[in-house]
Every structure is written in structure tokens, then in C-alpha cells.
Amino acid sequence: MSPTQKKPTPGLETPSDAPGQVVFRESPIHGTGAAALGCIPAGTRILEYLGRKITKAEASVQCDLGNPYIFEFDEVYDLDGDVGWNPARWLNHSCGPNCESLLEEGRIWIVTLREIQSGEELTFNYGYSLNDFKEHPCHCGSAECVGYIVDEEFFAELRGIAGPSQPPR
């Protein structure tokens, strides 16, 4: 399973970033996460998701090997973000995210959805399908959490299946 990206938001034509405003540290959600070092405005490109462009076949092999940093790029290619020069690989998923991923002119950006306060963990929705959703329990802790890492389009369905309870850690 790999994160997917949305279509670009109209009006976000010029890439921008937030150099030095993101720190990578232990996360209450999972392992290492990313957090804001200062107040970051809505609509800021905080990081680019970088990696090796690989075929779907290679991505499938990597996923089977347990590589959690494969990012769905387009119909043909995925990105293997498991490289030291891709700090965006540390961002965790949330069911109530404060960022989103956007594909624009062949580059994937992590963009803030709202103003973010210093210290807040930076998250986006990985956009997973319902395939094998029980293998991906979510510990985001947000009020919107549906208990599993899935795209927002499946929240209603999942709430019907799983109810409001949290999955076991």
C-alpha cells in the first residue's frame, strides 16, 4: 500500500517552501514524525516528497518487502522515498490531517491545509484504499480517526463497518 496524491489546488502555481521550519523527532503517532518549528501559514509547501522513480512492478516488490516509503506517483510510476535525501518520508498519516500531498508538474509537494502552530505534528492522509485496511490500524489520535489508515472517501463506509472504537495498538 502506498500514499496517493490529489490533483493540484487551483491558485497554487508557484512552489514555495518553509526552510528550517520543520523538525523530525519521535512522534506519539508512530516512530519518527515531522513537526512545525514555528507558525506555518496555510497553503505553504513545507516539503517535496523525493525519491527514486520506479515501476509499479518494482514498487509492488518493495511493498511486499515491507518498504513503507513507496509513494504512488502516476499510472505508470511510483516513488521509492526510502532515501536519506527525502525528509518528507517521516510524515505520518492522520484521519484529520493538517497537510495534503499535491502532484504538480511532476513533483509531489506536502502542502499545509491550514495555519499550523509551532510544535504541531505535520500529517497528511495517505489515501490508502480499503484493500487490507485491517493491516493498517491508525493511531493518529484525531477526533476524526476511523481506526485505520484509509482515504477520506472511505470514512463513512469504515465507520459503518468498524464503529467508533480505536483499533488495538
CA 21 from chain centre, in angstroms, equals: 18
Which of 103, 138 has the CB closer to Zn ion?
138
**Cβ atoms of residues 78 and 70 within 8 Å:** yes
Q: Mask: binding to Zn ion, 75-114, rule CB under 5 A, as x and -? A: --------------------x-------------------
Distance in Å, CB of 43 to ligand SAM, minimum: 23
**Start-end of H helices in 13-168:** 56-64, 155-162
Lookup: cell for 148:
485505520
145 binds, among ligand SAM, Zn ion, none (CB under 5 to 8 A by kind): Zn ion
Q: Is 145 a binder of Zn ion (CB under 5 A)?
A: yes
Min dist CB 23 to Zn ion, Å, is 22
Give the three-state DSSP class for 45: strand
Residue 70 binds ligand SAM, judged by CB under 6 A: no
Of 122, 127, 128, 126, residue with least CA distance to 98: 122
Could you say whether residue 29 binds ligand SAM (CB under 6 A)? yes
Please tell me whether residue 72 adopts helix, strand or coil conformation: strand
CA-based Rg of the chain, rounded to a whole angstrom? 15
Query: Is 52 a binder of ligand SAM (CB under 6 A)?
Result: no
For the CB of residue 14, give the shortest distance to ligand SAM in the complex, in Å: 27
Is position 69 an interface residue for ligand SAM (rule: CB under 6 A)?
A: yes
Strands (E), 27-120: 32-36, 45-49, 52-55, 70-72, 77-80, 92-93, 99-104, 107-112
State yes or no: residue 73 binds ligand SAM (CB under 6 A). Answer: no
Site residues, ligand SAM (CB under 6 A): 27, 29-33, 68-69, 89-90, 92-94, 138-140, 149
